[in-house]
Amino acid sequence: MKAQKLNKQDTIGVIAPSAPIVSEKLEDINNSILLLERAGFKIQFSKNAFSNTLGYSATAKEKAEDINRMFENSNIKAILCATGGENSNSTFEYLDFEIIKNNPKIICGFSDSTSLINIINEKTGLVTFHGPTFKSLTSWETNYSYNELIKRFVDKNLQLGTDDDEYITIKQGQAEGELIGGNLNLLSDLVCGKYNVNFKNKIMFIEDLGYESSPGMISHYLYKMKQNGVFEDIQGLWIGNYEHDSKISLEKIVLDVLENEYQFPIIKSNNFGHCERKTVIPIGVKAKIDTDKKIKIELLEDCVI
């Protein structure tokens, strides 16, 4: 299930499913408002986007209410998560997946939003998007993330990143499958339990934030996935940004965990994650990895209609 593309004059809704919008974030938030309004869009914040009821976020019910109402509101054509945080999964119990299914629209975020966008795709079949948050549209020094958002949602362009993005082959091969992924920490929480996602025949993409996840923690997340059969299910692996003071790379940890036990191709790029370059990656859309090509991953179908 795919959402309608964005058009100029459409209203973009902003939700805060993780951390609230607080004073130190307001400069970037205001800059993002100006950026999108100058481009011809209207901005509407959800009722509880600025709420900090618990002292660390709005309540789970407040945040879920915002998500449900944004999907239900026919004037809202796309939804951007405001910023990152730690607990968007708290909303799961209170999301109305029938409302979401009956009102398909673009929803985009990264980092902690990994939980939300993957579970919405799993429960409803709606194509969701791993890409810039509202704040991150202007919190970096270039317009890369903004340009990627416009390219994907307005122009319906299928190119992942730009021509000068560098792709590295970690393990050769070709693979096709629907995309699934995001922040490794959050994704590893979705491998089992009441709220889990299906990794069967998927191309998985992963990234993480070095100052929050040490190499040992990265190993922990990957072994959790390995022990729950994820690497037996997926068709390919796409590694994104990870920077740690130790200089130990995410791809090195991946290879240490996998130990040549699996045959799927593995590629690496720095155009998604906690970095300036954030291409917009659709979750639930078919893609192909081909390590013989310069741009080693491509989308095989439209993301929006």
- Per-residue tens of pLDDT for the chain, all 305 residues: 999 999 999 999 999 999 999 888 899 999 999 999 999 999 999 999 999 999 999 999 999 999 999 999 999 999 999 999 999 999 999 999 999 999 999 999 999 999 999 999 999 999 999 999 999 999 988 999 999 999 999 999 999 999 999 999 999 999 999 999 999 999 999 999 999 999 999 999 999 999 999 999 999 999 999 999 999 999 999 999 999 999 999 999 999 999 999 999 999 999 999 999 999 999 999 999 999 999 999 999 999 99
Segments making up each domain of the chain, as ranges: 11-153, 167-299
pTM: 0.97
> What's CA 38's distance to the chain center, in Å?
25
**Helix (H) / strand (E) containing 68:** helix 60-72
Beta strand 286-290 with 174-183 is: antiparallel
- Longest CA span, the chain: 52
CA angle 241, 246, 251 (to 5 degrees): 40
Whole-number Cα distances in Å, 120 to 105, 107, 225, 240: 11, 9, 20, 22
CATH number belonging to the domain at 11-153, selected among 3.40.50.300, 3.40.50.10740, 3.40.50.720, 3.30.465.10: 3.40.50.10740
Helices (H), 75-202: 97-102, 113-124, 144-153, 184-188
CATH tag, 167-299: 3.50.30.60
The Cα–Cα gap between 279 and 131 comes to 6
Whole-number Cα distances in Å, 50 to 56, 57, 83, 231: 11, 9, 11, 39
